[in-house]
């Protein structure tokens, strides 16, 4: 994909990234902690925050690291209208988590997209969870950390990665069958 052809989907990805950050913070400010399973709670915005971790990788691939930082700043500015305290906690947690995420994603990207996403999102989710809960004034308990990680890793990382890999495999199979025909 050329630089020019990456521009439009890249800008859409930045907008989705900033929207995921803003949405996560809005849901958290409105609903606080919610139950996600037996003995597990999470902030209401966890699934949107998990989606943001995945979108960060898309933005980096299409437009680069500077645009990732622009997405974090935009999400923080939009969140400020809802909750200045959450905006600060979120921006700090996302910035540090995304820097950790990038440090892992960038070198692993050449070994395959899925490996890079799974490894970087795992680290990013842990860092984001611990920092955000602490900075936003939520309890850092096994139930809260476990609930956040289930939401960010199982639902917002593993399922989308599995879906992408399944679609890619299906396309390859169709392509192989078309070539043979």
The total domain count for the chain is 1
CB atoms within 10 A of CB 139: 11
- The DSSP-derived string for the chain is --HHHHHHHHHHHHHHHHHHHHHHHHHHHHH-EEEEETTEEEETTHHHHHHHHHHHHHHHHHH-HHHHHHHHHHHHHHHHTT-HHHHHHHHHHHHHHHHHHHHHHHHHGGG-HHHHHHHHHHHHHHHHHHHHHHHHT----HHHHHHHHIIIIIIIIIHHHHHHHHHHHHHHHHHHHHHH-
Taking the C-alpha atoms of residue 32 and residue 177, their distance in angstroms, rounded to an integer, is 50
Token code pair at residue 134: 């602490």
Q: Which residues are bridge partners to 34 per DSSP?
A: 42
Residue found under tokens 């925050």: 49
> For residue 156, what are the domain limits?
3-180
Q: How many CA atoms lie within 13 A of 90 on its CB side?
A: 35
Domain CATH for 76:
1.10.1760
Tens digit of pLDDT at every position of the chain (181 positions): 667 777 899 999 999 999 999 999 999 999 999 998 889 999 999 888 888 888 988 998 999 989 999 999 999 999 999 899 999 999 999 889 878 888 998 899 899 989 998 999 899 889 989 999 999 999 999 999 999 998 888 878 888 889 889 998 998 888 888 766 5
Nearest one of 56, 68, 53, 34 to 155, comparing CA atoms: 53
């Amino acid at each position: 994909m050329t630089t020019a052809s990456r521009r439009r989907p890249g800008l859409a990805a930045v907008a989705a990234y900033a929207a995921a950050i803003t949405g996560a913070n809005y849901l958290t400010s409105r609903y606080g902690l919610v139950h996600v399973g037996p003995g597990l709670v999470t902030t209401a915005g966890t699934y949107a925050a998990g989606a943001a971790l995945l979108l960060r990788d898309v933005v980096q691939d299409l437009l680069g690291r500077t645009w990732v930082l622009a997405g974090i700043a935009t999400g923080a500015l939009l969140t400020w209208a809802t909750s200045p305290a959450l905006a600060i906690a979120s921006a700090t947690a996302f910035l540090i988590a995304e820097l950790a995420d990038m440090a892992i994603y960038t070198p692993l990207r050449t070994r395959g997209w899925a490996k890079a996403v799974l490894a970087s999102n795992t680290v990013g989710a842990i860092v984001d969870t611990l920092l955000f809960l602490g900075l936003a004034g939520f309890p850092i308990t096994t139930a809260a950390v476990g609930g956040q990680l289930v939401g960010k890793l199982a639902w917002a990382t593993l399922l989308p990665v599995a879906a992408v890999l399944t679609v890619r495999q299906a396309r390859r199979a169709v392509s192989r069958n078309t070539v043979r025909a």
